Amino acid sequence: MSQERWNAVDDFVTALVVDEDDALRAAVADSAQAGLPQIAVSPPQGKMLQLLARVHGARTILELGTLAAYSTIWLARALPPDGHLVTLELQPHFAQVARANIERAGLSALVEQRVGPASESLDALREEGAGPFDMVFIDADKARTPEYFTQALELTRPGALFVVDNVVRDGELANQRTDDPGVRGMRRLHKQLAGDERFSATTIQTVGVKGYDGFTLILRN
Ligand code: SAH
Ligand code: DHB
Ligand code: MG
């Protein structure tokens, strides 16, 4: 199976059922224009995040890793009018591009951006008594994912849904000798979840325009 084939299927699905609109397409175009890395979730994955948020009835969402706000826009559109999404980004320039994209999508009233290291933003949210968040999307620096999960947990209640992106990485997740810090982070996340009855989790492998990767779903029991 080839990348070409995976792309063709993502394109077919995107054209027919994903409903990517002008604001989302413009967000991608402007982020490319501004020189940001093109590593946002794919259109079908963005739609999946939105569907998960809707099925879950999420009213509050926490996102780690804004980039240009492509996933942010998908998620925020799942919220009711009085909903709230907080998104964390390290890079001020990325956050600036994201701000314009969120504004163009008409979502500024629902979305709160915080700029800085996610660990610090999570501490600040805790101190402010923010949350509880119904859903958390973890998509920042992969090596720190287990720590982000632990920190974000403090901002949730039982019933919260966590989605973690980029978990499988060409199958490297199963390589116990890997020296990739990101993959090691995702292996640690799984060890953290193993046998912990507070959580119910699974990891799904995916192919598509982003290659062979996958995501982890975690329900806080
Ligand atoms: N969720 C986005 C993609 C995020 S890419 C989408 O799908 O549209 C990962 C992002 O995490 C990048 O923008 C990167 O700058 C950010 N990031 C990396 N390290 C971080 C940190 N320590 N704190 C917060 N964000 C970080
Ligand atoms: C990278 C980050 C992502 O969030 C992603 O979906 C793909 C790649 C990266 O840092 O390379
Ligand atoms: Mg990602």
Q: Is pLDDT of 1 > 90?
A: no
Q: Is pLDDT of 62 > 90?
A: yes
Q: Is residue 69 classed as helix, strand or coil in its secondary structure?
A: coil
| % residues pLDDT > 90 (the chain) | 100
What are the structure tokens assigned to 185, written together?
A: 């982070």
Closest alpha carbon to 100 in 90, 113, 91, 88: 113
Report the pLDDT averaged over residues 90-97.
98
Q: Is pLDDT of 77 > 80?
A: yes
Closest approach atom of ligand 1 to CA 41: 7
Closest alpha carbon to 107 in 132, 64, 60, 75: 75
Report the pLDDT averaged over residues 193-216.
98
2 phi/psi in degrees, rounded to 5: -115, 160
List the alpha helices (DSSP H) in 91-211. Answer: 92-104, 118-127, 145-153, 181-193
Q: Is 99 left (phi over 0), alpha (psi -120 to 50) or beta?
A: alpha
Q: Is pLDDT of 112 > 70?
A: yes
Q: How far is the CA of 121 from the centre of ligand 1 (A)?
A: 13
Closest alpha carbon to 156 in 170, 136, 137: 136
Closest approach atom of ligand 2 to CA 139: 4
Which residues contact residue 110 at a Cβ distance below 8 angstroms, ignoring those fewer than 6 apart? 76, 79, 83, 84, 85
50 phi/psi in degrees, rounded to 5: -65, -40
What's this model's pTM, rounded to 2 decimal places? Answer: 0.99
Of all protein residues, whose CA lies closest to atom 2 belonging to ligand 2?
39
Closest approach atom of ligand 1 to CA 94: 13
Q: Is 139 in the pocket of ligand 2 (CB under 6 A)?
A: yes
Of all protein residues, whose CA lies closest to atom 3 belonging to ligand 2?
39
pLDDT tens, position by position, 4-53: 999 999 999 999 999 999 999 999 999 999 999 999 999 999 999 999 99
Report the pLDDT averaged over residues 99-122.
98
| % residues pLDDT > 70 (the chain) | 100
Q: Is 134 in the pocket of ligand 2 (CB under 6 A)?
A: no
Is residue 63 within 8 Å of 72, Cβ to Cβ?
yes
- Name the average pLDDT for the chain: 98
Closest alpha carbon to 152 in 166, 163, 143: 163
Q: Is 90 in the pocket of ligand 2 (CB under 6 A)?
A: no
Query: For ligand 1, which residues put their CB under 6 angstroms from it?
Result: 39-41, 65, 67, 70-71, 88-91, 94, 117-118, 139-141
Closest approach atom of ligand 2 to CA 141: 10
Is residue 165 within 8 Å of 189, Cβ to Cβ?
no
Q: Is pLDDT of 95 > 80?
A: yes
Q: Is pLDDT of 181 > 70?
A: yes
Whole-number pLDDT of residue 146: 98
Is residue 146 within 8 Å of 118, Cβ to Cβ?
no
What are the structure tokens assigned to 105, written together?
A: 């999508």
